[in-house]
Amino acid sequence: MIQEIVINGLINGSIYALLAIGFSLIFGVARVVNIAHTALYMAASYFIYLGFDYLGMSSLLAALISILLTVALGLVCYQLFIKPIREHESAVLIATIALAMVIQEIFLLAFGGNYLGVPPLATGYFMLAGVKIANQHLLVLGAAFLALIGTWFLLMKTRIGLGIRCTAQDREVANLMGINVNREIMAALGISVGMAAVAGAIVAPLSVIDPHMWLHPLTMMLAIVVLGGLGSIKGSFISSYILGFTEAVVVFALPMGAFLKGPIALSIMILVLLIRPEGLFGVSFEEER
């Protein structure tokens, strides 16, 4: 049981980290609370299914194409629905909820409510210190770590990352440094949706694909972001693993635990809001204008 908790905790945590960091990033940079974030993650899973099952692509090619398609979808949606109302925060919130539902309904219409699946990229398992580890799990972990390290590198070590971080901290002063704020927002959105798409792509072979698969990760992601502190990338990263492991413990150690994972995440969220509303690494946003 312990090894299952460790493996699943790591996998859950990594996937939540991919989702929550992207969510935090676009909130920090553009103040957009993107409820449709996990709907885009679902879109990536469906695109893989589409590429693999309908078009006969290899799963790797289907995964790559689905990530690109999802990013494109995210950017188009932003330009069409979010950008014109970006300064109206509550309108943005409502628009992203609507967008998520539209995406859900489109997939429901297109594929029905059936549970779909794609085969794993790697089969078989190997033994490590007497513990059976599926190759697919290892692949998922590797891909997730790679994506997380890639994002870290992009944000901390490149010029685009510098521009994005400046924009997140003070949009107006970023302007004064010659940073094109709108372009940085698009870049940040691309990275954010890209991370969600990577999460969707690596989750697809592990679970079932259905039009409601975005709801549970959404709950978890919101709980994580509240625990970590809204807008804090470090906080999102750490609390992703906290909640990822909590979920694994609940599922594997409690009887009927699988039904409890949502309620427990929400209870953690409520507790954090009551005791420490700014979260573990709360970012206090400076007045901007």
Partner 1 sequence: MLLTVSNLTVIYDRALIINDLSMEVGMGELVGLVGPNGAGKSTVLRAITGLVGWEKEVLRGTVGGDISLKGKVVFDGERIDDKPAHEIVKKGLIHCPERRRPFREMTVLENLRAGAYLVKDKAEIQNNLDNVYKLFPILHSRAGQVSGALSGGEQQMLAIGRSLMFRPRLLCIDEPSTGLAPIMRSEVFKKIQEIRELGISVLLVEQDVSTVFKMTCRNYLLSSGKIIAEGSGTDLLQDEVIRKTYLGL
Give the binding site for partner 1 (CB under 8 A).
Answer: 87-88, 159, 162-163, 165-166, 169-170, 172-181, 283, 286, 289
Instruction: Output the smallest distance, CB 47 to partner 1, in A.
Output: 34
Whole-angstrom Cα Rg for the chain: 19
- Shorter beta-carbon distance to partner 1: residue 37 or 165: 165
Instruction: Output the smallest distance, CB 242 to partner 1, in A.
Output: 22
Instruction: Output the smallest distance, CB 169 to partner 1, in A.
Output: 4
- Shorter beta-carbon distance to partner 1: residue 137 or 234: 234
Say which amino acid occupies 121: L
What is the Cα 77 distance to its own chain's centre?
17
* Pairing between β-strand 125-128 and β-strand 131-134 as defined by DSSP bridges: antiparallel
Query: What single string gives the DSSP state of each residue in 37-69?
Result: HHHHHHHHHHHHHIIIIIS---HHHHHHHHHHH
- Shorter beta-carbon distance to partner 1: residue 132 or 157: 157
- Shorter beta-carbon distance to partner 1: residue 33 or 179: 179
- Shorter beta-carbon distance to partner 1: residue 171 or 261: 171
Instruction: Output the smallest distance, CB 41 to partner 1, in A.
Output: 28
Q: Residue 232: exposed, middle, or buried by beta-carbon count in 10 A (0-12, 13-18, 19+)? A: buried
Determine the 3-state secondary structure of 124 from DSSP.
Answer: coil
Per the DSSP assignment, residues forming a β-bridge with 209 are 116
Instruction: Output the smallest distance, CB 165 to partner 1, in A.
Output: 6
Euclidean distance between CA atoms 224 and 228, whole angstroms:
6
Euclidean distance between CA atoms 116 and 243, whole angstroms:
27
- Shorter beta-carbon distance to partner 1: residue 48 or 283: 283
Instruction: Output the smallest distance, CB 81 to partner 1, in A.
Output: 15
Please give the DSSP secondary-structure letter assigned to residue 81: I
